[in-house]
Amino acid sequence: MSYNLLIQWKEELMSALIILVCLVLAFVFPANGLLQQFTSTLVFLLILPILYIKLILKKPFSFFGFSLKNKDVGFLWGGIMLAISLLTAFLLITFTSLKTNYFLSPEIMNNFWIFLVYELIFVNSIFFMYEFFFKGFVLFSFIKKFSYWSILFSVLFYATVSTINSGMKWQLAPALILSITGNIVAYKSRSFIYSYLMGLLFLIFFDAYLIYILN
């Protein structure tokens, strides 16, 4: 009986193991300098899950949310969650000390082109890796068995890892907002692409608004 249960849950168990290994290695694998740290994140949050999906599970990426189906649902929920995210961020900026504790380098704040490069290349690339891992790999690994509870798993995974890695900082606030709203979009649309697009827009708006009020 228990063996059969094990067989039924083997993919979820193995995925949970891989997720833990990836997260641990992404943060503790010895890396000196930014380049090695970036590489480490790229490998353990993107490449290793991709290889696991293709080589071990031998499943299409669409099983893990890499698809553009459900456009109507995706854009609808993306729009709703974007509005909620922005409202939440606005409230935090207005009523808390977030704006004084959120760091943006002076170069980004004073130069629009550097801001664009920063958002579209650095933020975008890092954000895509996180979206793929948490809202693609983590969420869709458990969605079949846990339904909407998988949203909670994904949020908890992200929050736990971020907090352990960086501590409780206002710098994490936009990402924590997105970990909730983005997972809802991904769950509803069965695609992390919409949550990724929604999240990217949110981050650009968020940073732009902060630069606007700080300047």
Partner 1 sequence: MKKNILSILAILLIIVLLTPPAKAIIDYPNPSDAAQSGIQAIMSLFGFDQDAVTNAAKTFNVAGQKNQQPQVSLTFTPSNPALGQKISAIAQPVYFMNDSKDLYFTWYLKHDGGNKDHNKDGHIDIEDYKIEAARIIASNDFSWDKADYSTSSDDDGYDAVFGGDDQRGKSEHCFYHDVESGHEFEIECEHLFPSDNIDGESLGDGSFGRAEEKFWHTDPNNSDTAGTGNTDESNVIGLGINQFTWNYTPGDRVGVAVEGISTTPAQTNDSSYKTMWALLKNKCSAFDDDVDDALDDFSNTVGTESGTTTTTSTTTTDTNIPDLTPDPGNTDIQETVVETTTTTVTDVLAFTQTVTTVTETTITVYDGADVAKEGTPISGPTTTTTTTIEDNSFSTSEDLNDCLTENFIDPVEGGTTNKIEVSLNAIPTEPINDKTGENSDQLIVHASTANVDNANYLKYAWEVFEADSPNPESWGDPLIKSDLPEVKQTSGIGLSTFKMKMAMESPKKYLKVKVTVTETTASNTTREGHNDIIVPVSSTNKSIHVYSALAKDNLTLEPILNMERCKSGMEKLICPVFKNEIVSISVPGLFSNILWTLDNKPLGPIDSDCSSNECDSHTGEAKNTTYFPILKGNGERYLLNFSATNDDGEKINLSKTFEVVDPNIKIISDFQFTNSDPKALCTEAYNTCPMLLGYYIDLDDIHWPDYSATSFESVVGKPISFRPTLVLPEPPTNQWHIDDVPIFKGIENIFGATIDENNVLTFTPAKIAGQTYLVSYTSVYVQSRNIKKILNKSFNVQLDKFSDKKLSASAEITMVDSLDKSLSAQKPTPKKILATLVADVPDYFNFLFRIILTVGLFLFISRILLAQFPKTN
Contact 81, 181 (CB under 8 A): yes
Minimum distance from residue 11 beta carbon to partner 1 (Å): 8
- Of the candidates 12, 16, 43, 146, which one interacts with partner 1 according to CB under 8 A? 43
Residue 164, number of CB atoms within 10 A of its CB:
11
33-41, 62-70, 72-80, 156-164 -> range binding partner 1 (CB under 8 A): 33-41
**29 makes contact with partner 1 (CB under 8 A):** yes
**55 makes contact with partner 1 (CB under 8 A):** yes
Minimum distance from residue 195 beta carbon to partner 1 (Å): 26
Minimum distance from residue 188 beta carbon to partner 1 (Å): 27
Contact 92, 173 (CB under 8 A): yes
**28 makes contact with partner 1 (CB under 8 A):** no
CA atoms within 13 A on the CB side of 145: 13
- Give 155-159's long-range contacts (Cβ < 8 A, gap of 24+): 155/179, 155/180, 155/183, 157/19, 157/23, 158/130, 158/134
Residues binding partner 1 (CB under 8 A): 6-8, 10, 14, 17-18, 21, 25, 29-33, 35-36, 39-40, 43-44, 47-48, 51-52, 55-56
